[in-house]
Amino acid sequence: MAARRDSGGGGIAGVFGVLVVIGFIAKYIWFIVGALAVAAVVTGVYYASRAALRRADEQRRLAERREQELWMRAERQRRWTMLDDSRAIYGADGDGPTRAVLESPPESGPVARLARTAGELATLKRKKPRAWQFAVFGSVLQQRTAELAPRLRDSRSGFTTGDGMHVSSGPPLANVLLGLIDQMLSTSRQLADFLDTCVAIPDEDDPDAVEHTAHRLMHYQVRLLELSERCRALSAPSAYTDVIASCARILDTPIRGFQEFVDEYIEVVDALPRLLEHVTGRLEVPAIVLDLAIDDTLFDTTTTRLQAMQR
């Protein structure tokens, strides 16, 4: 009986408690609904404001990127037109804020050409024909790039070997990939800073110094390529294949930008004999841009997933 009383008392207390709660809600329902509505509005405004700020920031970044791309295309168009390249689209010249300026000496004489071999480079450095600084610099870039050609193709294609570090779970894999991306960003910043040294190439009198600077510039490309290779060599469960591929695409972006810079620089050096044939004053060559920009959407999506994998 005691047990039954305890059970009954517990039941009544429980029902009473439920009724109290229901009665409280019934009595104050409009206050609660109003408070929830206010909270919902405030929360909605907060998230809407954050979303609006994100959209505004994305639009600003897109606008800046579009402006940069327009300037780069204009400079490339002007350069192709100057080189009498069939790819040029004729029209109003794009006038960018910077110029790669070549000082053409008043005296006549042979114009420097790209050296395809080490022997030709030594001869170029010794004879120092007109515009030799550009030719020495471009020759080193061309020769070093030729040596890297197979590795550059693998990076561009996203070729994976899977013969490197094996990572069996998400958190350590995310740490490795985020570390590679961070090293890439750091190397890209160092590369951008080093370009200030390259600006002085036209005024350099020491051919060894020009060659040294070109090799140092290529050193950054090698470092970026090694990061791409480390990423594509990772071995992990199949569930993470896509995120490794996305990271490989991110890591390849500055490598592609560097390669495009080298290709365009060599185009200009190849055209120097024709450009300088009748020039006795100042020759302005439209800027050759080293574009290290990364796809914001790909970067944000990939890093967000990696951060989630860390938890």
- For every residue of 72-116, DSSP letters joined together read HHHHHHHHHHHTT-TT---SSPP--S-EEEEEPPSS--PBP----
User: What pLDDT, on a 0 to 100 scale, did the predictor assign at position 77?
Assistant: 63
The tens digit of pLDDT for each residue in 15-57 reads 333 333 333 333 334 443 444 444 444 444 444 445 555 666 6
The tens digit of pLDDT for each residue in 251-293 reads 999 999 999 889 988 988 888 888 777 666 666 666 777 888 8
Give the span between the Cα atoms of 294 and 197, in whole angstroms.
24
pTM score above 0.85: no
Give the span between the Cα atoms of 183 and 189, in whole angstroms.
10
The tens digit of pLDDT for each residue in 211-261 reads 999 999 999 999 999 999 999 999 999 999 999 999 999 999 999 999 988
Question: At which residue do the structure tokens 């007109």 appear?
Answer: 130
Give the span between the Cα atoms of 167 and 172, in whole angstroms.
7
Question: At which residue do the structure tokens 């450095």 appear?
Answer: 125
The three-class DSSP label of residue 284 is: strand
Neighbours of 68 (CB within 10 A): 13
Burial (CB < 10 A; 0-12, 13-18, 19+), residue 235, is middle
Give the span between the Cα atoms of 176 and 103, in whole angstroms.
47
Residue 188 near residue 257 (C-beta atoms within 8 A):
no
Give the span between the Cα atoms of 125 and 265, in whole angstroms.
19
Q: Confidence band (pLDDT; 50, 70, 90) for 78?
A: low
- Average of per-residue pLDDT across 102-117: 70
Which amino acid appears at position 3 of this protein?
A
